Amino acid sequence: MPEASLSSSLLQRVVIEHVSPTVDCGAFPIKRCIGERVSVMANIHLDGTDHIAAILNSRLLSHPHWDKTFFTIIDPGKDLWQATLNLESIGTYEFFIEAWVDAFSTWRYKLGRKSNAGQDVEQDLKEGALLLHSAFVHSQGHDLEILQHHHHVITTSNSMTQRLAAANDPDVASIMKRSGNNGFSTKTQMFLISVERKRASIGAWYEFFPRSSGTGTLHSATFQEAEQRLEGIAQMGFDVVYLPPIHPIGRTFRKGSNNNPVAGPGDSGSPWAIGALEGGHTAVHPELGTLSDFHHFVEKAKSLNLEIALDLAYQCAPDHPYVKDHPEWFHHRPDGTIQCAENPPKLYEDIYPINFECEQWEALWNELKQVVLFWIHQDVRIFRVDNPHTKPYRFWEWLIREIRKESPDVIFLAEAFTRPAVMQYLGKIGFSQSYTYFTWRTTQKELTEYVTELTQTVVRDFMRPNFFVNTPDILHEFLQTGGCPAFQLRFILAATLSSNYGIYGPPFELCENQAFPGTEDYVDSEKYQIRQWEWDRPGNIKSLIGDVNRARRENPSLLVNETIRFYSVDNPQLLCYGKTLPDGSNPMLIVVNLDPKNVQSGWIQVPYQEWHLPEQYFVFDLLSNQSYAWKGASNFIKLDPQERVAHLFKVTS
């Protein structure tokens, strides 16, 4: 039998292992934002003692040329190498690592050892000259001139000192490193980085129902009236205004107030029951105004540095035009009727789920894509996606990819309160942000473990948390029973633990805590009826909200997630944590009383040495405008929730 031929790949001596950061070994992109830097690390090694050269090859997918950055070894004992990639554009970057035996560096090292030992290096110098000569073909211009000159010195000079100096010239070493690939390099697979605009990772969200923005009437407010609320939202320091569905609401099986299955004559119905004779997902509810009125609303928001986010809910009321024009897009029961939404014991007769796997799925998917494109053309660039975990993964993966081909600045927030693996997978396939379990994490242990998981593990590379404190669906028991201090402390936690957070207001800033007993459902929920709010009623926490949002804007370390660290405190009712910028600057220390009813005190441990502070330093509370001189690590804290639920300290020397 003929012998099997050997592959030249057998001469690839360098091994590249454990590349990071990656998601599922490169199956999905990692997430970052424009302006950030990615430190790519890998274990790179080979048999024997030869030296290694390694390059990070990177580019935007749309660019023809590769940028090349050499790795440096940062832990020789672990063969750990690092290279840094600057992300200067929105889009998808790709990168791979290439490494090879650095023959010239190996030769220089051995030459130096022999020379220092007083051994004969004549043959070694000739070997080096051959290496230089072989690089001529890969060099040009000034590089070629340098190589030729040093080759000439090494081969013709009568001075050993000059020959050794030429061999060890750092300029030569740099040129040879760039051109020294011996043709048997090892290359990794391709890895991807999804780079989005800053708003994907930093934002304070405010949710409100435009129809409840009026005064003195229970009829729907218009966009023009809702505009009057934008200035107050901006004054509180928010960045994003999120609107529940603004489309026509179905009349068939419309729900009444408090989710009554039978609507009265004046009941407005749920905005999530989308579609009526007036139109569907690309129409505006006539009671809110016209599409032109919506444009004016968006422009007013822009003038206040606010960005509008719309709800993207792929479901239909029985009156939606899709039901008449495309009945094949829905689930049909054996008796021919269309299946309504169910979550036993709850029944949603006013909503028809869409069948994403129907025979005409391609036409359906393309139509749903057109819905997003329509609102993008109305200058909307943020979408809060309703219940994405109840629709196919592959649909979202396809839709987000297709949308970003045209509009790479679009942000998608996944509203998926479901199992951890599902929430995380939605992040992997493209969602910019994700709702989280923050609402249900209330103890020191729960908060420490959960925030650490989100910010200090591999999860941070694909799932960006958005800490909504409450939603129209969720009024947690903690808020129901803790009074105004509960709202204050939960707000401070959300706004300082996460760079992205949100509130559903005005119920939140007014500390509205009335729920149906044993549930998280608001009494007189805006989901089913128009509410009239006394926007400035006594007891509101608008001032606190404004102070914290101001602190976020003036202290950029509060807008960084990966640097958060939790510090020891001897009272489990207190939570102590800190943040800095990646370079260690702008240290902030936050201490929160997790008990909304009782005074709590304890000794906290401040990492003053880690923050390069002198033994005596100062902390300035941005909430009370008081300054304290502290000394050493152990310092005493006492918080009375009736006066102050937290300290937000700026730490200085």
- What residues are annotated to the active site? 386, 415
Please report the DSSP string for 27-39 in residue order: TB-EEEETT-EEE
Q: How far apart are CA 154 and CA 132, in angstroms?
A: 10
For the chain, the 3-state helix, strand and coil shares in percent, each to the nearest 5, are 35, 25, 40
Query: Which long-range contacts does 508-512 make (Cβ < 8 Å, 24+ apart)?
Result: 508/469, 508/470, 509/236, 509/540, 509/541, 509/542, 509/545, 510/534, 510/535, 510/537, 510/539, 510/540, 511/483, 511/484, 511/487, 511/539, 511/540, 511/541, 512/475
Per the structure block, which two tokens stand in for 87?
């992300």
Of all helices (H) and strands (E), which one includes residue 477? helix 477-481
Q: Which residues contact 159 (CB under 8 A, 6 or more apart)?
A: none
Write the CA distances from 379 to 341, 372, 409, 566, integer angstroms: 31, 11, 11, 40
Q: Which residues contact 48 (CB under 8 A, 6 or more apart)?
A: 13
Kindly report the backbone phi and psi dihedral angles of residue 266, in degrees, each rounded to the nearest multiple of 5, phi listed first: -100, 5
Map residue 16 onto helix, strand or coil: strand
408: buried, middle or exposed (CB in 10 Å: 19+, 13-18, 0-12)?
middle
Nearest to 273 by CA among 289, 256, 287, 296: 256
Write the CA distances from 547 to 213, 533, 550, integer angstroms: 24, 23, 5
Continuous H helices in 168-320? 170-179, 223-235, 291-303
Amino acid identity at 78: K
In Å, the largest CA–CA distance within the chain is 106
Q: Which residues contact 66 (CB under 8 A, 6 or more apart)?
A: 57, 58, 59
- C-beta of residue 372 within 8 angstroms of C-beta of residue 407: no
Of all helices (H) and strands (E), which one includes residue 144? helix 141-156
Q: Other C-beta atoms within 10 Å of 339: how many? A: 12
Per the structure block, which two tokens stand in for 334?
């054996």
What are the residues facing 38 on neighbouring strands? 85
What are the residues facing 502 on neighbouring strands? 205, 468
Nearest to 647 by CA among 542, 581, 569, 584: 569
- C-beta of residue 351 within 8 angstroms of C-beta of residue 340: yes
- C-beta of residue 259 within 8 angstroms of C-beta of residue 518: no
Q: Other C-beta atoms within 10 Å of 271: how many? A: 23
Q: How far apart are CA 338 and CA 141, in angstroms?
A: 74
Read off the DSSP letter of residue 560: -
Show the beta-strand stretches assigned E in 388-448. Answer: 411-415, 433-435
Of all helices (H) and strands (E), which one includes residue 395? helix 393-406
